[in-house]
Chains A and B, each alone.
Chain A
Amino acid sequence: MKARLIFVPLAGLAIAGGPAYATVYLSVEQAQQVMFPGATFTPDNRTLTEDQVKVIEKMSGVPVRNKQLKIWRVSTGGWFIVDEVVGKHEYIPFALGLDDKGNVKDVEILEYREAYGGQIRDPEWRRQFVGKGPDAKLQLGRNIRNISGATLSSRHITDGVERLLATYAVVLAKAGH
């Protein structure tokens, strides 16, 4: 085990590109190849009607915020959908792979921004960083990450998947593939 706890004076820290740690995990193309290796993808975007939105919301119990759907048909069978959910503070884009029966194959989070605690978003708290430690090695948001439970973000993604499964039933199941 190799670890140490250090106490960093706040005045020695620099803020890197905002108060959050952003991680880009996969591009859309990478997620496609992870879920359906070797397949080709044909865009099949849809726009939901008001009636479809109502049915989807009733089926899933999750509100539909965006009627535009980014969908691809997969050459080897199944569907690939890119969507996003609202996390604690920001959007979390994710990809859902469905097999040809509409069952969940994979869920991949494409990008995740970790929010820092309330005190770090607070402008008063952040003011102490301004103009200090421009050459500090440690940068908040770049190489220091917050210990985060991410419980809420996880629940929102689960809800998002439920919503897309209802969307599949309403919009895609009949299309067959």
Chain B
Amino acid sequence: MRSSLQKLVTERAQPWLGTIVSIRADAPQEVISAAFEEVALIHRLMSFHDAASDVSRVNREAHERPVAVHRYTLEVLDCALRFAAISNGCFDISIGAELVEWGLLPRPEGATARPEGTWHDIQLLSDGSVFFERPLWVDLGGIAKGFAVDRAMERLLAEGAEQAVVNAGGDIRVHGLTEPIRLSAETVTDTMPVLELTDGSVASSSGHLQRRQVQGMTCGPHVHGVRRQPAPADRFVCVLAEQCVAADALTKIVMAEGSKSAGILREFAALAYVHDPDTGWQCISEDED
């Protein structure tokens, strides 16, 4: 067992998924490199910007014919559909159309009309390909980072790491830490909220940074999947869950639904801390084990 030896803790950072991904673990450089390779693969598969990615290919072709995709893409789509079903479409990866319209994502090459499809139109076929019943643009920006963090962490643990932190721009998973990581949020009054985490995942969202005025609405990067309107841009949300993909996706549901998302959080044994300018801090789903 390597655990009897004092293992060297290494931390590295690389730019992926539109953010900076950092990985810290008690593991050799080759293991950290392997974990980054998982993140890089997911970046290449799920980029909305890259015309050769799985996401761009399905957005271009899947309404015409089934498109074969990598098993990771299939897994993320499957996961996204589960979150869509459980939230009655509040979490909907077909919001690519709105994000393009609001200028938060680039218009896909050659695209003309805005597609009208929703998550209901996405079919994952038994042969591992994807088919859309109507044209639609999926954007995995609300779930791919969390998924990548989970894959990187799995890789680290499979290679023998015992203490690890993977952070993709605030989507964070930690394992086996003796000293917790401490995170602060920017919403500060006379006290500073500090989250201590030693095991599990956290994701957080705040619409402030990317919001802009479109058609008289203040639009943050979060869209209510059913109402097709921006979620409250002043809200700050932080979700804790075992898996980072759940924390990441649930953040969007809580951002859109606020305290109404308590039931969904409970199903994932997750909890959320929410800050609204008027009501201050609120903890949703307090009955954690």
A108 with B193: CB separation less than 8 A: no
**A119 close to chain B: CB less than 8 A:** yes
Q: Which of B190, B196, B209, B238 contacts A9 (CB 8 A)?
A: B190
Contact A2:B11 (CB < 8 A) given known A147-B204, A150-B169: no
Q: Of A106, A153, A154, which is in contact with the most chain B CB atoms at under 10 Å from its CB?
A: A154
CB-based contact B20/A112 at 8 Å = yes
* A175, CB-defined interface residue at 8 Å: no
Surface stretch bound by A, among B147-155, B176-184, B226-234 = B176-184
Q: Is B123 an interface residue (CB 8 A)?
A: no
Chain B residues positioned under 8 Å from A3 (CB to CB): 180, 195-200, 202, 240
B191 at interface, CB cutoff 8 A: yes
Q: Which of A7, A150, A151 contacts B192 (CB 8 A)?
A: A7
Interface size class of A (residues with CB under 8 A): 35 or more
A to B contact number (C-beta, < 8 Å): 135
> Which chain B residues have a beta carbon within 8 Å of chain A's beta carbons?
11-15, 18-20, 22, 29, 33, 169-170, 180-186, 188, 190-202, 204, 209-210, 238, 240-242, 269, 273, 281, 283, 288
Closest to B186 in A: A117
Q: Are A23 and B13 also in contact (CB < 8 A) when A1-B199, A6-B196 are?
A: yes
Cβ-defined contact, B19 with A147, below 8 A: no
Specify the chain A residue showing the minimal Cβ separation from B33.
A34
Which A residues touch B18, using CB under 8 A?
151, 154-155
Of B12, B193, B200, which contacts A5 at CB under 8 A? Answer: B193
Q: Taking the nearest CB of chain A, how far is it from the CB of B219, in angstroms?
A: 16
B283 touches A5 (CB 8 A): yes
Smallest CB separation, A22 vs chain B (Å): 12
Report Cα–Cα, A8/B201, bound state, in Å.
22
Q: Give the docked Cα–Cα distance between A147 and B275 (Å).
A: 14
Instruction: Mark A135-150 against chain B: 1 for CB-CB distance below 8 A, else 0.
Output: 0001010011111111
The answer to whether A147 and B184 touch (CB under 8 A), given A1-B240, A1-B241, is: yes
Known: A5-B193, A8-B192. A147 touches B185 (CB 8 A): yes
Minimum CB–CB distance from A27 to chain B (whole Å) comes to 12
A91 CB-CB contact with B under 8 Å: no
Could you tell me which residues of chain A, from 4 to 51, have a CB within 8 Å of some CB in chain B? 4-10, 13, 23, 25-26, 33-34
When chains A and B are docked, how far (Å) is the Cα of A120 from the Cα of B190?
Answer: 12
Known contacts A109-B14, A145-B181, A145-B183; 18 further A-B pairs (Cβ under 8 A): A1-B288, A5-B283, A6-B195, A9-B192, A23-B11, A23-B13, A25-B22, A33-B29, A108-B13, A109-B13, A144-B182, A144-B183, A147-B204, A150-B19, A154-B18, A154-B20, A154-B169, A157-B15
Report yes or no: B269 in contact with A1, Cβ–Cβ below 8 A: yes
